[in-house]
């Protein structure tokens, strides 16, 4: 995806044509295998928003397959659907971390190291948007979890979206 389309996605009002839902966040998460010479997407898997608790969420995570050292890109857009005022110092965190098995419910310990990660802290007002697009490679075979999640929303649950990566 070109930069233009990507930033327009963040800036434009009504930028995601997702259906209205009762949840507090809409998340569009995707991982892509790309041609390193052109940036063209070769394969792609997407996931939408889930909630925690319950641990690991309600939905079965999609599984994306790739090979060691293949150029990959993660991308997410999160839109705040909570309509009742601004929430201060909310964190939106994403990461790729190794896990023991696909679709495990427990989120692996990130302190043992991640493939890539990021975190944004902001005051989240209604309809606020957060997004990122990061190129990465996985250098060792195994099962990995790609996850983006909200933190510190002062709610009884947080929102996340996740995809498992099977790297051969």
Rank residues 57 and 131 by Cβ distance to other proteins and give the closer one: 131
Residues 159, 168: Cα–Cα separation, whole Å: 29
CB of 83 to other proteins, least distance (A): 15
Should residue 133 be labelled a site residue for other proteins when binding is judged by CB under 8 A? yes
Of the candidate spans 23-31, 35-43, 146-154, 157-165, the one that interacts with other proteins by CB under 8 A turns out to be: 35-43
CB of 59 to other proteins, least distance (A): 25
Rank residues 38 and 55 by Cβ distance to other proteins and give the closer one: 38
E runs forming strands in 8-115: 25-34, 41-47, 50-52, 63-66, 72-80, 87-99
Residues 64, 55: Cα–Cα separation, whole Å: 21
In the region spanning residues 61 to 90, those forming contacts with other proteins, defined by CB under 8 A, are 71, 86
Judged by CB under 8 A, the residue of 19, 22, 38, 156 near other proteins is 38
Judged by CB under 8 A, the residue of 7, 42, 63, 106 near other proteins is 7
Judged by CB under 8 A, the residue of 8, 43, 68, 102 near other proteins is 8
Phi, psi dihedral angles at 35 (to 5 degrees): -75, 120
Write the DSSP assignment of 87-156 as a string of letters: EEEEEEEEEEEEESSTT-SSPP-GGG--SEEEEEEEEE-TT-EEEEEEEE---S-EEEEEEEEEE--SSS
Should residue 121 be labelled a site residue for other proteins when binding is judged by CB under 8 A? yes
Should residue 34 be labelled a site residue for other proteins when binding is judged by CB under 8 A? yes
Should residue 131 be labelled a site residue for other proteins when binding is judged by CB under 8 A? yes
Closest by alpha carbon to 91, among 155, 39, 143?
A: 155
Residues 79, 130: Cα–Cα separation, whole Å: 7
Enumerate binding residues for other proteins (CB under 8 A).
Answer: 2-8, 10-11, 34, 36, 38-40, 71, 86, 92, 114, 116-125, 128-137
């Amino acid at each position: 995806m070109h930069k233009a389309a990507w930033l327009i996605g963040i800036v434009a009002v009504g930028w995601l044509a997702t259906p209205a839902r009762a949840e507090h966040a809409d998340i569009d998460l995707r991982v892509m295998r790309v041609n390193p010479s052109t940036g063209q997407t070769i394969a792609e898997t997407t996931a939408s928003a889930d909630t925690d608790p319950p641990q690991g969420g309600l939905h079965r995570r999609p599984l994306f397959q790739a090979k060691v050292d293949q150029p990959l890109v993660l991308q997410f857009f999160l839109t705040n659907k909570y309509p009742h005022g601004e929430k201060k110092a909310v964190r939106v965190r994403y990461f790729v971390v190794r896990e023991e098995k696909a679709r495990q419910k427990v989120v692996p310990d990130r302190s043992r190291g991640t493939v890539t990660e990021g975190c944004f802290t902001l005051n989240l007002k209604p309809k606020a948007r957060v997004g990122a697009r990061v190129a990465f490679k996985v250098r060792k075979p195994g099962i990995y979890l790609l996850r983006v999640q909200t933190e510190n929303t002062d709610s009884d649950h947080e929102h996340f979206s996740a995809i498992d990566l099977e790297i051969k």
